[in-house]
Chains A and B, each alone.
Chain A
Amino acid sequence: MAETGKAKTITIISGKGGTGKTSVTAAFASLAAPVVVADCDVDAANLHLLLSPEVEKSVDFYAMPIARINQDLCVGCGLCNDLCRYDAIVIQDDNYSVDPLACEACLVCKEHCPEQAIYTVERQAGYWFLSQARTGPMVHASLGIAQENSGKLVTEVRKAAADVAEEEKLDLVLVDGPPGIGCAVMASLTGADLVIAVTEATQSGLKDLIRVNDLCNHFKIPIHIIVNKCDLNPEVTQTVRKWAQEAKAPIIGEIPYDTDFTKAMIEAKTIVEYKSSRIGDELKNIWNTVLETMKSIA
């Protein structure tokens, strides 16, 4: 890795869920140790199940404060309900209240309530953790159930990971990103030097890969591809190869369908720690390619 002082960031994403993103991230973490890892899939964080981190610091995460109605002051005029665009005002037996799941925290209702009956409540929506895993420092998070602002929490996790890299003088951060192409994915892409998209050789995998590639192009971040379960359908794999060549998104590895990923997961091991596995060897080769690529990214 280049000694530029500032850590480089590799973000692993997938478009579609369940393609093996977390298993690949964990394998890379084993091979790159000591390295900083950040689990930015805060909606469904799984990396800790493989890396068994010990929590050293836990920080509260606050989502935007939402509205609540003081029943003693409310006269039931209904203006809040007229103004709310999120259908978040619940009316039951002439009693007005706010549905916390629907409230977007815009506070239009509070601003315009003639009785000043609406106030805000802080919401402790989750935590993020600074931990020590066997691969080095790890930043991960736990978002409360049915909470929003996952993009904001992702940003906090990412920043904390960059800080710990600087403090501990580590030159690489591995980010396990969320699926999809929305808010949380965009937040996890910020600052990435290289994106590795893990896809599977299926019709849906290819379609979601194309959307993820569009997203990376939109943000001008180079993208490399790993095709998982490449032998499930040789025809689709061939289509992925052809598409990748045209899209100038190099395929840096192809991994056959193998239940070793699952077996390693059940033992809470990364695939390169799990006895001798042919896909473990394959991932070592892929990691070497990644290292070569990183040298060329200034």
Chain B
Amino acid sequence: MHIAIASGKGGTGKTTVAVALARVMGSCVLVDCDVEAPNAHLFLNPDVQNTQDAYVMIPEVDDGKCTGCGECSRVCQFNALAVLGKSVLVFNELCHGCGGCVLACEPKAITEGGRLIGTMQWGKAGNLDFYDAKLRIGEPMSPPLIKALKRQAECLEAKNTILDCPPGTTCPMVEAVGGADYCILVTEPTPFGLHDLNMAYQAVQQMDIPAGVILNRAGMGDDCIQEYCKANGIPILLEIPHSREIAEGYAAGKDILSSMPSLEDGFKKVINTISEGLNNG
């Protein structure tokens, strides 16, 4: 069972929920896919056993072989190659690593080198297998790193997986949520929370992934989320009360089950509800 935790908006409590669910599941794989701002490790203090750099392919041009024909630049949809006279300029940051230029180059002057996009690490946190990655500063594209991280984590595919996903509803979120059996959308009862929940719900619907909501900071705002979920037939799996105690615990790097142990049953129920739903569906 692969469960993705997403939210549209940042700061709603995705990581809090992901860590708590992983804890109550016991033996499972937690993958922190928020490679721009990975935080799950702060609450789990994993014993990191491996690190590995991740690369995307970029073209390397052999000037000796290049005839300056310009085919590479013509086929590149991302303007990553420009031909000036007989020399080719490569703009590494614009390259998406599609390999089109290599295929287009008749004199075979282009080979592929690697551009470092980030570093992955993995290890154990108690009985959890933990994976995360950090996007290199200045690197614009996070989806290839998310893809590499998920691929790395799938060597343990027999187990249950929790994916802590990046905020938003664009390519990084789609890459992270893609392939999950179920998506939990974490939100808060405010106009911002509602607006972004609506976007995220539409995104998972488009991806054909069943979804439910965990309402965080319940009681802080108004009833807009309950009304929205009722109107759209979305199950509310759990309500986490608004509490300064939880916020203080979070600030100190304490996970929510340590701040409020009474929530453990609620999270267990969430897992059961989802697995029953998936088995019957």
Contact = CB atoms under 8 A, between A and B. Distances in A.
Contacts of B142: 180, 182-183
Which of A180, A207, A211, A265 counts the most B-chain CB atoms under 10 A from its CB?
Answer: A180
A111 B178 CA distance: 27
Contacts of B11: 16-19, 179
B176 to A, nearest CB: 12
B42 A203 contact: yes
Contacts of A14: 10
B253 A181 contact: no
A183 B141 contact: yes
Interface string A192-233: 000000001111100110010011001000000000010011
Contacts of B178: 101-102
Interface string A255-289: 00101001001101000000000000000000000
Contacts of B156: none
Contacts of B99: 83, 85, 108
A204 B16 CA distance: 11
B10 A18 contact: yes
Interface in A42-83: 43-44, 46, 49, 64, 83
B97 interface: yes
A22 interface: yes
Nearest to A18: B11
A104 B96 contact: yes
A146 B98 contact: no
Nearest to B39: A204
Nearest to B191: A49
A280 B207 CA distance: 42
B70 interface: no
A265 B191 contact: yes
A32 interface: no
Nearest to B35: A182
Interface string B189-212: 011100110010011001100000
Nearest to B136: A181
B37 A16 contact: yes
Interface in B143-179: 166-174, 178
A112 B103 contact: yes
Interface stretch (A4-12, A89-97, A131-139, A147-155): A147-155
Interface stretch (B122-130, B244-252, B272-280): B244-252
26 contacts: A18-B9, A18-B11, A44-B8, A44-B10, A85-B99, A86-B98, A106-B98, A107-B77, A145-B203, A146-B170, A146-B174, A146-B206, A180-B37, A180-B142, A180-B166, A182-B140, A186-B138, A200-B251, A202-B250, A207-B39, A211-B37, A232-B248, A235-B252, A257-B247, A259-B220, A266-B191
Give the top 7 A-B pairs by smallest Cβ distance, nearest first: A17-B10, A18-B11, A43-B168, A180-B36, A106-B98, A233-B251, A204-B39
Interface of B: 8-12, 15, 36-37, 39, 42, 75, 77-78, 96-100, 103-104, 134-135, 137-142, 166-174, 178, 190-192, 195-196, 199, 202-203, 206-207, 220-222, 244, 247-248, 250-253
Given A143-B170, A266-B190, 16 more contacts: A16-B11, A16-B37, A16-B39, A44-B8, A44-B10, A46-B196, A83-B99, A106-B78, A107-B77, A145-B206, A146-B207, A148-B171, A183-B142, A185-B36, A204-B15, A262-B190
